[in-house]
Structure 1
């Protein structure tokens, strides 16, 4: 906080009484941020949305109005500075958020920890791990784009972690802005019980401010930066509309809140405080979603959003967090509710949710769920039992670090020099044996070959791969011994492209990416019995194992899983050898017989077998299971599955027919269309294998106006011609084609 900024605040606070501004008290305590506030005065929130909905711009405004930064910069600004939360050079260059960034600020004596997350589906794990540790969220929607594919993904993630949210419809100043349509989409597509808390005063170029339906006041945002909030009476011509909309809001609340429901039935008119309390109760229960309006770029509606965060989103004490007792030692795995009180009397429990390499070493982001942690203390990793001394405790403001001496329950902070994985639990008492539920990590869907352009860069290449795979669990690296190439897998082409660019920029290691490889799967079409005897005798102790049972396909909704069932009765197969059979089955499923891809959607039912008192071992049964699977590969009916993507294309109406025709050519099935105000959205399911290169094609078809996004939907059997092509190319690689065999002979 600079002296000039404080002077600006003090001078602005002397404006007439109709002006509301940030309380001066916030700034006097701002310097003392490290002072621990009561639990009720803490908010941990995330800002999530579809790509290009204005999350980072909104965060920039929040930091400016709360005095955290002195100047606002645009995501793709002309001054080449870029937004504070986009600290990576690539983010500023591309104008997108790649990594989630944490910061903290103060608004009206409340500490607010904020995590700005990426909107692109390729970086969805950043959203996953942010929502895992947050108490509330702001779901940003574009007033033109509305509910888009990634909005639905974020909504599912919020539901998975039971995170209450506010909706903020941004970009009211954009051409074709229509918040009414967005609200209808929230109700129909996302199944939210949602209602406006604000109404716009003008749209597009005429956007002047908003009307608050709770307080029944018109709000205008004056000053060069919209930092002076002027409250006025509602314009006469809007009063009838405001009355109807307020009635609609109370009706939606009454449907899910008993207290307000009783008042509604008795035809009593609730006062402002009763409405506020009802909104808070229903938001915390996830039965109601308040919808606020504004335009972050034009500095309108951000301060009321901050007030709503304090009024309607939970503090850490209102969220129930649990840990599992004794899971690490194989005990009963009972759950215990963590105590978030900030007096430091309870043992420390924290969750590592994000890893990042910095010039000082590995930076580990943690959320403290219980107790207190001080610099110099020791903590234990609940998974590995390793003991670590805390030498530095820091709070993050984007890529800047600020040292603190202690953290309490509800705080988000970072540590140096802690070797751990994302999702590890830390405790300060080794006897506790507590572990928290880890973070859901989606499977990668695209693989590409990768190699450094120069052999001399191999050391740097290894360092880069080791760092990035540790930081991002959806970025995976492996060596394919059959194709003699190294492969990287990720959530999409952009995901892998970004990491290739980071290797060149940060490690001076230019790399070549090969053609994307789709993660096909192989599965069974019908059950197949097996009875396999593995017998080997060459003097001394031999090998003997027999396995009998059946392999069968799992239901279509489980076709990405593998299941092993031990149905043996008696001692024909001693129980100590059963894990060997399971390992043999899983090992064989790493590579199928048709195309060399992984096997999934199969259940292995071990029903009987035989063993030898001397010659049987776990290895014998491991090899017998592999032989049984090999037998089923040859005798059973198999098919190849391919990933199907949910694709959403948005473009001007005149290109509707062309785009549908092109999606049909790519093997897509149109599942729905939606239009209005000259724009159309097409929803389709398309095989991922057919989607490569679509971005350039869509731009050329729609004169650069079309946009599309896609996310993984499910695995489905591929077409016969695709299957034949995959089988033939695999046989060609392995030298198994008849003409290749003739040449060898």
Structure 2
């Protein structure tokens, strides 16, 4: 370290050691110029090493006067604001926290002065709000202040709509600061309330968590119906779940999400005839349909034919001579789409097939759209049982950046997860590996990658569609095909 700083180098050459004062001053200078980084160990989850971290912030990080003026945009032009209490007000919202006493919005004031009851402009959405109270936060103690000036980090009460990353500024001097970037979540877990009566409270707690932490995401899986919480790592999710349990008093269960498998056909059938007749009294039902079912040439996730139904499904009719009226053809198509909701392998949605209505017959009194819809659904179900079916599993493209000395272990782990490596690129001591991996095999991958790379590896994922699953792969209910 001494060779990077002239004063430290001079003292080291003269004394063969560095005093604490020289070391602290040198570290502060190197951090300010970006030539050095101080690394401390600790655990937020277990409250270890927090005080040394805060002491290091005070000792080594630059003050607002030590860094260049902050830059923002105003009407498309770049503007600078210096850390001067007399300059126009500009602050960045970096955290939002909902407490029992109200909504706290945490600000880093870059320029100007803000007082209680001042009006501020949310520059991103052009909304004006009013500051109620200004608080200096020290752990769980809040001290009320009359004003905050450039360089202060404070919490304010009274803002109703400002979100993390928003710029607050003087209404007469608008400025948009660059917001912090929230990385895409890479680890997910299914979460649900143990008691059904707590479902609404859990939804409210999750919404509040996402508002406070933009790196968290919550979604409902449309196929499994699970509520899925996603974050930056398993520890991140553990902390979020612990907040729900402690702050909201909710008893929740957490597990990994079910994988949304699909089914498709490898070999179709032709001329499958189905006659739907129901004469239980009153108006009867009669429908006669003949279907051809074949694999769709396009990719299984290539989309539908514009009907807004199942993915990877095309329906057409080659019936001539009016043997099946047009409105009944539409009913047959609707029935086929109904049948695609559950496949014969494991009740997963069916995709990647073309259905052709080749013939049919009607009854002058008993035929109806409902009868033909039922016939279409039952006919396609029967056809799928006769087809050679294939289970499809979701796959993702994984891009992992790992140190040179960890490449072998990472590649071996990807192979064990049924990954197919498509390329690798060397970059200044690291290797970027690109591979296609089944989504079901990625649970726990973040922890495994950290352990194999001593915490130096990172990865991102991108959904790429579906691929045939090997016959021995366990499906979401725990069984194997």
The TM-score bracket by the shorter chain reads: 0.5 to 0.7
Q: Shift in Å at residue 494 of structure 1?
A: 6.0
Q: Which residue of 2 aligns with 1:564?
A: 315
- For residues 238-317 of structure 1, the aligned pairs below 5 Å read none
Q: Which residue of 1 aligns with 2:465?
A: 714
Q: Which residue of 2 aligns with 1:546?
A: 288
Secondary structure, in 3 states, of the residue corresponding to 1:539?
coil
Q: Against the structure 1 CA distance between its residues 581 and 88, is the aligned structure 2 distance closer, same or farther, given a 3 Å change threshold? A: farther
Match of 2:264 among 517, 523, 539: 523
Q: Against the structure 1 CA distance between its residues 686 and 619, is the aligned structure 2 distance closer, same or farther, given a 3 Å change threshold? A: same
Q: Against the structure 1 CA distance between its residues 613 and 87, is the aligned structure 2 distance closer, same or farther, given a 3 Å change threshold? A: farther
Cα contact 1:550–1:606 (8 A) shared by 2: yes
Q: Which residue of 2 aligns with 1:476?
A: 220
Q: Output one character per residue of 1:74-125: Cα deviation in whole Å (capped at 9) or x when no partner.
A: xxxxxxxxxx4443459xxxxxxxxxxxxxx9xxxxx99659xxxxxxxxxx
Cα contact 1:644–1:712 (8 A) shared by 2: yes
Q: Against the structure 1 CA distance between its residues 86 and 465, is the aligned structure 2 distance closer, same or farther, given a 3 Å change threshold? A: closer
Q: Which residue of 1 aligns with 2:138?
A: none
Does residue 470 of structure 2 align to residue 726 of structure 1? no
Cα contact 1:547–1:606 (8 A) shared by 2: yes
Q: Against the structure 1 CA distance between its residues 540 and 467, is the aligned structure 2 distance closer, same or farther, given a 3 Å change threshold? A: farther
Match of 1:623 among 365, 374, 393: 374
Match of 1:532 among 269, 274, 280: 274
Unaligned runs of 5+ in 1: 1-11, 13-19, 31-40, 46-60, 72-83, 91-104, 106-110, 116-223, 226-357, 364-394, 405-410, 412-443, 481-485, 733-745
Give the Cα–Cα distance (whole angstroms) in 1 for the partners of residues 352 and 81 of structure 2: 48
Cα contact 2:268–2:294 (8 A) shared by 1: yes
Q: Against the structure 1 CA distance between its residues 477 and 634, is the aligned structure 2 distance closer, same or farther, given a 3 Å change threshold? A: closer
Cα contact 2:323–2:361 (8 A) shared by 1: yes
Q: Shift in Å at residue 490 of structure 1?
A: 7.2
Cα contact 2:186–2:460 (8 A) shared by 1: no
Query: Greater CA deviation, 62-71 or 522-531?
Result: 62-71
Q: Against the structure 1 CA distance between its residues 607 and 502, is the aligned structure 2 distance closer, same or farther, given a 3 Å change threshold? A: farther
Q: Which residue of 2 aligns with 1:603?
A: 354
Q: Against the structure 1 CA distance between its residues 622 and 501, is the aligned structure 2 distance closer, same or farther, given a 3 Å change threshold? A: farther
Cα contact 2:123–2:168 (8 A) shared by 1: no
Q: Which residue of 2 aligns with 1:591?
A: 342
Give the Cα–Cα distance (whole angstroms) in 2 for the partners of residues 621 and 68 of structure 1: 71
Cα contact 1:500–1:510 (8 A) shared by 2: no
Q: Shift in Å at residue 647 of structure 1?
A: 0.8
Cα contact 2:88–2:170 (8 A) shared by 1: no
Q: Against the structure 1 CA distance between its residues 660 and 545, is the aligned structure 2 distance closer, same or farther, given a 3 Å change threshold? A: same
Give the Cα–Cα distance (whole angstroms) in 1 for the partners of residues 229 and 467 of structure 2: 20
Larger fraction in helix: 1
Give the Cα–Cα distance (whole angstroms) in 2 for the partners of residues 515 and 458 of structure 1: 18
Q: Against the structure 1 CA distance between its residues 455 and 547, is the aligned structure 2 distance closer, same or farther, given a 3 Å change threshold? A: closer
Give the Cα–Cα distance (whole angstroms) in 2 for the partners of residues 563 and 581 of structure 1: 13
Q: Output one character per residue of 1:326-365: Cα deviation in whole Å (capped at 9) or x when no partner.
A: xxxxxxxxxxxxxxxxxxxxxxxxxxxxxxxx997xx7xx
Q: Against the structure 1 CA distance between its residues 462 and 490, is the aligned structure 2 distance closer, same or farther, given a 3 Å change threshold? A: closer
Q: Shift in Å at residue 646 of structure 1?
A: 0.7
Cα contact 1:566–1:607 (8 A) shared by 2: yes
RMSD over aligned Cα atoms: 4.9
Secondary structure, in 3 states, of the residue corresponding to 1:714?
strand
Q: Against the structure 1 CA distance between its residues 462 and 474, is the aligned structure 2 distance closer, same or farther, given a 3 Å change threshold? A: closer
Q: Which residue of 2 aligns with 1:194?
A: none
Give the Cα–Cα distance (whole angstroms) in 2 for the partners of residues 561 and 568 of structure 1: 23
Does residue 227 of structure 2 align to residue 488 of structure 1? yes
Does residue 125 of structure 2 align to residue 87 of structure 1? no
Which structure has the larger Rg?
Answer: 2
How many residues in Structure 1 have an aligned counterpart in Structure 2?
334
Q: Shift in Å at residue 616 of structure 1?
A: 1.7
Cα contact 1:468–1:475 (8 A) shared by 2: no
Give the Cα–Cα distance (whole angstroms) in 1 for the partners of residues 390 and 373 of structure 2: 25
Q: Shift in Å at residue 535 of structure 1?
A: 0.9
Q: Which residue of 2 aligns with 1:679?
A: 430
Does residue 379 of structure 2 align to residue 638 of structure 1? no
Q: Shift in Å at residue 591 of structure 1?
A: 1.5
Cα contact 1:650–1:679 (8 A) shared by 2: yes
Q: Against the structure 1 CA distance between its residues 86 and 586, is the aligned structure 2 distance closer, same or farther, given a 3 Å change threshold? A: farther
Q: Shift in Å at residue 580 of structure 1?
A: 2.4
Give the Cα–Cα distance (whole angstroms) in 2 for the partners of residues 517 and 44 of structure 1: 48
Cα contact 1:44–1:113 (8 A) shared by 2: no
Cα contact 2:219–2:227 (8 A) shared by 1: yes
Does residue 389 of structure 2 align to residue 648 of structure 1? no
Cα contact 1:447–1:489 (8 A) shared by 2: yes
Q: Which residue of 2 aligns with 1:336?
A: none
Q: Which residue of 2 aligns with 1:168?
A: none
Unaligned runs of 5+ in 2: 1-64, 99-110, 112-120, 126-149, 152-157, 177-184, 302-310
Does residue 439 of structure 2 align to residue 695 of structure 1? no
Q: Against the structure 1 CA distance between its residues 445 and 696, is the aligned structure 2 distance closer, same or farther, given a 3 Å change threshold? A: closer
Give the Cα–Cα distance (whole angstroms) in 1 for the partners of residues 226 and 386 of structure 2: 31
Cα contact 1:648–1:709 (8 A) shared by 2: yes
